[in-house]
Amino acid sequence: MFFPATVQAVSVLLVAGAAGAWLAPAAAGAVFYGGLAALANTGLLLWRSRQGEIHSDGMRHFRSFIRSSLERIVVVGAWLALGFSVWEIQAGPMLAGFIVGMLAWMLAAAARPDTG
């Protein structure tokens, strides 16, 4: 599960660098900030998956799955909301960074499934 996270981080850095070169340094920061939201999502997923390895009954797994999903929604939503409202980061590049990060994770995870 660390391979997709590595691909995600590298992709976000590359796209942020490209945005900084082609658009403006502020756009690079916005892309990076959005990518950090995707990386936070992945970090929480990795953390919870490591905790889930010790569960033994199905209902406990299900509760952990629901809690993990809600945590990730709240953390990513709050992170993006802070970017929009408090720090007034450019919405387009920030969301582009988030989308690039999530797509990189999904593609890397699909290309190299964990075997155990």
Tens-digit pLDDT profile for residues 51-79: 766 666 788 888 888 999 999 999 999 99
- Residue pair 8/42 in contact (Cβ under 8 Å)? The answer is yes
pLDDT tens-digit series, residues 83-99: 999 999 999 999 999 99
Average pLDDT value for the chain: 91
Q: What is the DSSP letter of 35?
A: H
User: What is the percent of the chain where pLDDT is above 90?
Assistant: 73
Q: What is the DSSP letter of 53?
A: T
Whole-angstrom distance, CA of residue 20 vs CA of residue 35: 14
Whole-angstrom distance, CA of residue 90 vs CA of residue 87: 9
DSSP H helices in the chain:
2-22, 25-52, 58-85, 91-111
pLDDT over threshold 80, residue 37? yes
pLDDT over threshold 70, residue 25? yes
